[in-house]
Amino acid sequence: CIGFVPTMGYLHAGHLSLLRAARRRGGKAGKVVVSIYVNPTQFGPKEDFPSYPRDLKRDLNLCRTEGVDAVFAPRDKEMYPGKTGSRRCESADGPRFDKRGYSTYVVEEQLSQGMEGAARPGHFRGVTTVVAKLFNIVLPDVAVFGAKDWQQAAIIKRMVADLNFPLKIVVAPIVREPDGVAMSSRNKYLVGNLRPQAAVLRRSIQVVRQTVAIAKKPVFAPKLKARVRQIVKAAPAARLDYVEFFDPETLKPATKVAHGTHMALAVFIGKTRLIDNSWL
């Protein structure tokens, strides 16, 4: 059994929990494979692709410590080959990725429309394309994804079902810092007084969860969204990108929120964009 964990590197405890989940699935006789690749096609032109944290030597040491059997760390030209190759180029928006000669993509058309899909046009096209390619290269029996990217995991599960990939998708729980902030490679950007303000995401979830728990009937989503906006606004460096309430399977937005509804939000802390989600 081959257990596979696709990552963009700069590994943290959340990633390591995925490696352990893959090992448990495969057993002692199984193999765990990790990919480390910062995929350019899932970044927008003004996003942090050039500055995304990278430390391959550190990542390899962590993988070795965790007993990973193989690490796949491809270069851009290996993942996006073309007749004239591929290269990074400069534009008015900064460094971008020029995929000359490459024109085939995988697109999921329903679950990818809202939330991250609406906030980051083209993001999920890049995600589904690179994950499909990684599945074809590694040929795993099981692939493990983190619940922090709930919408991404749902889309990957749908892609696997729709395109008949012969593997099982496992979604592992979110791993959090002591203050409740979901672990993310982008947390590195949070310096000085920005770091404590990141807790506003978890605090928003907790307030909504408590509100729903004590309510005698479903709560209207607009009321909860307004409350979340107030909570986020109280943090000086925070700016709400979106908050949504939805069915955890179909991702269909909910007009009334009750026990079993899922919540997701994205918040800018300074220039750093963080996401979080929770079942209510």
Question: Among candidates 280, 276, 258, 256, which has minimal Cα distance to 267?
Answer: 276
Q: Which amino acid makes up residue 89?
A: C
Residue 15 is among the residues annotated as catalytic for this protein: yes
Instruction: Give the whole-angstrom CA distance, residue 273 versus residue 182.
Output: 12
Catalytically annotated residue among 12, 15, 123, 259: 15
Residues annotated as part of the active site: 15
